Chains A and B, each alone.
Chain A
Amino acid sequence: DTGVSQDPRHKITKRGQNVTFRCDPISEHNRLYWYRQTLGQGPEFLTYFQNEAQLEKSRLLSDRFSAERPKGSFSTLEIQRTEQGDSAMYLCASSGDVYSNQPQHFGDGTRLSIL
Chain B
Amino acid sequence: DAKTTQPTSMDCAEGRAANLPCNHSTISGNEYVYWYRQIHSQGPQYIIHGLKNNETNEMASLIITEDRKSSTLILPHATLRDTAVYYCIVRPYNFGNEKLTFGTGTRLTIIP
Interface residues of A (CB under 8 A from B): 4, 31, 33, 35, 40-45, 48, 55-56, 58, 91, 93, 95, 98-99, 101, 103-109
- Nearest-neighbour CB distance to chain B for A60, whole angstroms, equals 11
Which A residues are CB-close (under 8 A) to B43? 4, 91, 93, 106-109
- Complex contact B46–A42 (CB within 8 A): no
Q: Evaluate contact between A104 and B105: CB separation under 8 angstroms.
A: no
Q: A42-B104, A42-B105 are contacts. A101–B93 as well, Cβ < 8 Å?
A: yes
Contact in complex: A33, B99 (CB < 8 Å) = yes
Do most interface residues of chain B lie in helix, strand or loop, or is the interface mixed? loop
Would A98 and B95 count as touching, CB distance under 8 A? Answer: yes
Cross-chain contact A31 with B98 (CB below 8 angstroms)? yes
B9 within 8 A of A: no
Binding site for A on B (CB under 8 A): 32, 34, 36, 41-46, 49, 85, 87, 93-96, 98-105
Rank and list the top 7 A-B pairs by shortest CB-CB distance, nearest first. A42-B102, A106-B43, A45-B99, A103-B46, A108-B43, A106-B44, A43-B102
CA separation between A105 and B96, bound complex, in Å? 18
Q: List 29 A-B contacts (CB under 8 A).
A: A4-B43, A31-B98, A33-B100, A41-B102, A42-B87, A42-B103, A42-B105, A43-B44, A45-B99, A45-B101, A48-B98, A55-B96, A56-B96, A56-B98, A93-B100, A95-B98, A98-B93, A101-B32, A103-B34, A103-B46, A103-B49, A104-B46, A104-B100, A106-B43, A106-B46, A108-B41, A108-B43, A109-B42, A109-B43
Instruction: Decide if A99 touches B100 in the complex (CB within 8 Å).
Output: no
Tell me the minimal C-beta distance from A28 to chain B in angstroms. 16
Q: Which residues of A contact B44 (CB under 8 A)?
A: 43, 91, 93, 106
- A81 to B87: give the CA distance in the assembly, Å: 33
Known: A91-B44, A101-B93, A105-B46. A40 touches B104 (CB 8 A): yes
